[in-house]
Chain A
Amino acid sequence: MPYHYLEEIGTADIAFEATGRDLPELFTASADATMNVMIDNLDAIESRETRQIELSNDNLEMLLFDFLQELIYFKDARRLLLRANKMQIDQKADQFVLKATLAGEQLDDTRHQQRADVKAVTLHGFSVQKHEDGWKAKVLLDI
């Protein structure tokens, strides 16, 4: 898995570090890390519904913040569990533009093993950094 959870950050909350060779991989891994806090068996989420989203921000960290918020929004508003299917991130002038297809289905208690609800993405220690081998993000989720 291109993400792991951090034991020593946020006693009552859950922190993760995600990696990717490029930005779409990093964002996809971060989305799964967020969804995996809520649902233990991600593979049980079937692609029955899709949502197209388009986001832009002049700050790459805030673009990831906005993107993860989308997952939390659909989880509460529609009880939809979504994973990133297609993802494209371009830099146009001073804006980063994300276009993604999210796919998933409504939460089904009989098939989806729940863990803990994510209330919000926090900005505490939030980072997106480029490294020699790609990208790394650190995120603390409010539980």
Chain B
Amino acid sequence: MAVSEQLKKISDSVWELPASYKQGMRVPARIIATEKLVREMDEAVYEQISNVATLPGIARYALCMPDGHSGYGFPIGGVAAMDVHEGGVISPGGIGFDINCGMRLVITNLTLDDVQPHLHQIVDRLYERVPAGVGSHGFLKLSRQDFRNLVEQGARWCIEHDYGWEDDLEVTEENGCISDADASKISERAIDRGYNQVGTLGSGNHYLEVQVARPEDVRDKQLAEKFGITIPNQVVVMFHCGSRGFGHQVATDYLQTFLKVMESKYGIKIFDRELACAPFESPEGRDYFAAMKCGLNMSFANRQVILHRIREVFSEIFGRSAEDLGMQMIYDVSHNTAKLEKHTVDGKEKTLLVHRKGATRAFGPGHDEVAARYRDIGQPVIIGGSMETGSYLLVGTASGGETFFSTAHGSGRTMSRTKARKQWHGKQLQRDLEARGIYVRSTSWAGLAEEAGAAYKNIDEVIAATELAGISKPVARFTPIGNVKG
């Protein structure tokens, strides 16, 4: 029977593969999507999410968000909550090699009319100041010991070294520094790969974008005002990046550690080596958790230093301070993590390790972990679209419990990079985008072609699916006008 025939419709936005779909599934797999999106998903998503459902300790469902597509181990868009008191595991493949890949959004008090005459200058200078591309190194010259301190202290280290404002920490997930990160659990190779890369964007789908909130795209005026989005055609800056080579090496190191002990020591069998794991409550599991937290902090610090550079660029070009330009950060949120959280399952409160791989945490109003200034409206969620279409600011909802308060992270690819590259040419795409009012700089023409908008799902449909499922609520849509592509 084709997979699609075994998919059961639970509601207009929820689809289920029953636990009988594959031997070894401990829970059903659920896909959050509209019918159109679920039918367009590649079959590998079904295979991968049902593999996730076989992992020890998984609670309730293995979940895939509306932007889901095939990945390695977990699908991109995968969410799995493990009961750490019931043998629940931790898996690097449930987080991704790019630990704490995430989004940051900063507003300005400038309008499209203010920015348009300087757009090329802004994008060109951002391109110079925020290095992107293959193996790029940043401007910070750190000793290895400095870097160890940075990965234990996260964005706080940056604020203490004058790369940002104290206020930035309040609006960063975990206040920019997750506790109990332990640099003694990371390898020298991980340090080698990371200590020169703070303040760099990376490559692939990583980007830094100048965007506009058009009046017709402000979906909830009251909420938008709470975020300081109050002026017609207000300009904001959004960027997407992660923990660079450092995080990639931490994940690679522990993938190998887990492969060695998983079956021989813990008797865990898996369908895909990228699901290598160990019980959370094991020496290997605990070590990875402490090392992974260093990856989280590296990424918070990386985005903090990049924000500092963005403020410098705007300040230089407009001849006014960043404070005077109203460059307040709205939020910084991770979409590649595993975090210990309390959730209610079958009426009981449990401590779960929630893996989110290409999925964003989206706590609703009133939750303790939402930054104080947003607690009455819910946690901000930043979802980046392709460089051609648009991106969104949303908030978490009280009704998101079914997905462990998780939502989408992007628009989600529909076409492989290899195929996209054959369809478009980077230089032509850059010219076409410029004609449409989007000025793009990239380190790579081929990389630019691979990121063509048509290689992605329709972002508006993904956002509509999250709203229909009640897992996040759109506040404003932003249209790109300038883009630095990694």
Contacts and interface: CB of A to CB of B under 8 A. Distances in A.
A and B from one complex? yes
B325 interface: no
B486 A13 contact: no
A15 B292 CA distance: 26
A77 B197 CA distance: 9
Interface stretch (B23-31, B245-253, B430-438, B460-468): B245-253
Interface in B259-299: 259, 272-274, 276
B374 interface: no
Interface string A103-143: 00001010001111101111111100000000000001011
A96 to B, nearest CB: 16
Interface stretch (B132-140, B232-240, B340-348, B393-401): B132-140
B184 to A, nearest CB: 20
Contacts of B192: 73, 76-77
Contact of A10 (B71, B134, B276): B71
A39 B443 CA distance: 11
Interface of A: 5-15, 38-40, 62, 69, 72-73, 75-77, 79, 107, 109, 113-117, 119-126, 140, 142-143
A81 B315 CA distance: 36
Nearest to B197: A76
Contacts of B149: none
B418 interface: yes
A109 B443 contact: yes
Interface in B35-82: 42, 44, 69-73, 76
A77 B190 CA distance: 9
- Nearest 8 A/B pairs, CB to CB: A124-B72, A76-B245, A117-B203, A123-B273, A76-B193, A77-B192, A120-B97, A122-B72
Contact of A119 (B42, B97, B256): B97
A143 B101 CA distance: 12
A140 B93 CA distance: 13
Contacts of B245: 72, 76-77, 119
Interface residues of B, number: 52
B416 interface: yes
A124 B445 contact: no
B205 interface: yes
Contacts of A10: 70-72, 416
A120 B251 contact: yes
A126 B417 contact: no
Contacts of A76: 135, 192-194, 197, 244-245, 248-249
Contacts of B380: none
Given A6-B418, A40-B446, A79-B135, A124 B73 contact: yes
Nearest to B247: A119
B98 interface: yes
B417 A13 contact: yes
Contacts of B70: 9-11
